[in-house]
Amino acid sequence: MHYRYSSKLGWDKREKTHHVVDLELDLSLDGIFKSRRIAEELAREQASIRAEVFAMIAGQIVPTILAGTGEDYSLPAEGIHSKAKSEWKDEQTFQEPSSEGDTLKLQDRVRVVMGVETDRPVTGVQAAYSGRAGLADAITERVMHSLNSRYLGITRQESTSESRMAGDDVVGYAARSKTDFTGN
């Protein structure tokens, strides 16, 4: 899977225990699917596609965005316990494969506003880093919903996920979802 993105991140530099992180992300993905039978592959490989998208966002894109702020986002050695809740809006476009060898290209413009509560005062960028799994999950859910809606006819999807991070590496990820179909 290949990606390109541009982003804009808003945060508060003061140290406190409650932060609001505002991320605008213009994400382009291609190579998500290995075949041109997109609906079949999406239905069959849903869990692995979701895990791959999550790992890419949590392990590569979000840390790169945070590093680009120029702020120190490292956390204390004893770690920080945080809770995150997010709201989002998105707009997506699809470029269908037109010839042999082409792959689906998805462009998703996502805005995620995430509230992060921490057990001790940190800066906004540190709060974003401690809540990066929640941020990555919100973006992953938007990408998956876009694909599921377009190719599988899913009109509503509720999901929960659990993830564990060690530094910038995803060491565990599982998601469960409940869906409604339009009958496509």
* Continuous H helices in 97-131: 124-130
CA 114 to chain centre: 12
Domain assignment present for residue 179? The answer is: no
Q: pLDDT category, 155, cuts 50, 70, 90?
A: confident
pLDDT score recorded for residue 184: 45
Q: Which of 78-82, 104-108, 111-115 has the lowest mean pLDDT?
A: 78-82
Closest to 68 (Cα-Cα) out of 117, 118, 23:
23
Segment 12-22, tens digit of pLDDT: 889 999 999 99
Please say if the pLDDT value at position 87 is more than 80.
no
Domain assignment present for residue 135? The answer is: yes
For tokens 């069959």, name the residue. Answer: 44
Q: How many domains does the chain have?
A: 1
Please say if the pLDDT value at position 175 is more than 90.
no
Domain assignment present for residue 180? The answer is: no
Q: Find the mean pLDDT for residues 86-113.
A: 84
Domain assignment present for residue 117? The answer is: yes
- Cβ count near 72 (within 10 Å): 11
pLDDT score recorded for residue 8: 94
Please say if the pLDDT value at position 99 is more than 90.
no
Sign of the torsion formed by the C-alpha atoms of 159, 139, 168 and 28: positive
Can you name the residues that pair with 51 across neighbouring β-strands?
none
Domain assignment of residue 38, given as a range:
2-174
**19 phi and psi, to 5 degrees?**
-130, 155
Q: pLDDT category, 77, cuts 50, 70, 90?
A: low
Mean pLDDT value across the chain? 83
Domain assignment present for residue 136? The answer is: yes
Percent of the chain whose predicted confidence (pLDDT) is above 70: 84
Q: pLDDT category, 28, cuts 50, 70, 90?
A: very high
